[in-house]
């Protein structure tokens, strides 16, 4: 099994205001842990810039132009209360999308079985026409459409275990039954969407979790909602919106998962990818704001991917 890792130094140069949880140190913590001996066999690749045309797979031109023109010459400019851009944010966002698209190419060409993308900014809150929740473009959504358009994938599943609901991904695929979107997330919590009765064209599966949910109920939700939906859908590709802010140490939420839970969930998705998708699995970093919880969870997740 070959596991690839995409990252790029520019992901450290997307700046957010002082004290903001979505900060460059998150990626430094991940880089440090991925230097350990356990990861010697990871195939490391520099994230390429995306063909900008692929942004239109999920966003209209006016959204793309709005982000492009918001980029300041110096300093940091706010887009909303949580979301901001700095001079290098365009390149960072474009390379995050480029890495996701390249990862899709790699799993379809057989260069890799699975790929992890350590990038920022994250993407799952970005709706068709709205950047929000630290996100500019919806990387997972663009990569799913890239798989369909370039590689003929008929059914793509996006599994989102970030502790926040991926309102953006749900928005983009709301009426598109060729993409299954499954999310476990704390509710109530930002952004407020993700109730069980939000089902789109039958392709949206939300499994909201009450605050103070731990391992057992998380795994039960995964077994009862996410895995049966995947078994029925039989995706050609699984994309993970891999946020690690459901870790018990995370300051932004109150779900009490451990590294072992991320290891377990990764194993379940690898198993499903093996059954219907020729092992094809692409995982992209979304949230995760406690540096220790984040790095230990990424370590468990990527080690599991490498074991296949």
Q: Which is nearer to Zn ion, 156 or 252 (CB)?
A: 252
Q: Is residue 125 flagged as an active site residue? A: yes
- Check whether the bond before 304 is cis (ω within 30° of 0): no
DSSP helix/strand/coil, 247 = strand
Enumerate residues 211-270 that contact Zn ion by CB under 5 A: 243, 245
Cβ 276 to Zn ion, closest distance in Å?
Answer: 27
**Cβ atoms of 91 and 67 closer than 8 Å:** no
Cβ 160 to Zn ion, closest distance in Å?
Answer: 9
Query: Which residue in the shown chain puts its C-beta closest to Zn ion?
Result: 287
Enumerate residues 147-166 that contact Zn ion by CB under 5 A: 162, 164
**Cβ atoms of 46 and 8 closer than 8 Å:** yes
Q: Which helix (H) or strand (E) holds 62?
A: helix 61-70
DSSP helix/strand/coil, 50 = coil
Q: Does 287 bind Zn ion (CB under 5 A)?
A: yes
Residue carrying the six token digits 């699975």: 114
Query: Residue 127 corresponds to which tokens in the numbers above?
Result: 């709706």
Residue carrying the six token digits 């663009």: 142
Options 78-86, 189-197, 265-273, 280-288: segment touching Zn ion (CB under 5 A): 280-288
Number of residues this chain uses to bind Zn ion (CB under 5 A): 5
Residue carrying the six token digits 């903001």: 20
Cβ 184 to Zn ion, closest distance in Å?
Answer: 11
Cβ 33 to Zn ion, closest distance in Å?
Answer: 19
Residues annotated as part of the active site: 125
Q: Which residues bind Zn ion (CB under 5 A)?
A: 162, 164, 243, 245, 287
């Amino acid at each position: 099994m070959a596991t690839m890792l995409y990252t790029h130094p520019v992901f450290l140069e997307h700046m957010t205001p002082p004290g903001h949880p979505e900060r460059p140190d998150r990626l430094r913590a991940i880089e440090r842990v991925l230097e350990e001996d356990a990861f010697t066999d990871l195939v490391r690749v520099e994230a390429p810039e995306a063909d900008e045309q692929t942004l239109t797979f999920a966003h209209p031109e006016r959204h793309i132009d709005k982000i492009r023109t918001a980029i300041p010459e110096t300093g940091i400019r706010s887009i909303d209360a949580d979301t901001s851009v700095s001079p290098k944010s365009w390149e960072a966002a474009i390379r995050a999308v480029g890495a996701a698209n390249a990862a899709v190419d790699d799993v379809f060409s057989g260069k890799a079985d699975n790929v992890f993308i350590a990038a920022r900014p994250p993407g799952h809150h970005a709706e068709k026409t709205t950047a929000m929740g630290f996100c500019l473009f919806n990387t997972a959504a663009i990569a799913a459409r890239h798989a369909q358009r370039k590689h003929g994938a008929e059914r793509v599943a996006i599994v989102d275990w970030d502790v926040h609901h991926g309102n953006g991904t749900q928005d983009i695929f709301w009426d598109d039954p060729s993409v299954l979107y499954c999310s476990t997330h704390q509710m109530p919590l930002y952004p407020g969407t993700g109730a069980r009765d939000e089902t789109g064209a039958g392709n949206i599966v939300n499994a909201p979790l009450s605050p103070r949910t731990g391992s057992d109920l998380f795994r039960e939700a995964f077994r009862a909602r996410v895995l049966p939906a995947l078994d029925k859908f039989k995706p050609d590709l699984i994309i993970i919106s891999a946020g690690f802010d459901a870790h018990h140490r995370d300051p932004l939420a109150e779900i009490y998962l451990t590294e072992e839970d991320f290891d377990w969930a990764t194993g379940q998705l690898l198993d499903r990818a093996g059954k219907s998708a020729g092992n094809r699995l692409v995982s992209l970093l979304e949230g995760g704001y406690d540096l220790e919880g984040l790095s230990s969870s990424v370590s468990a997740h990527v080690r599991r991917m490498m074991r296949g």
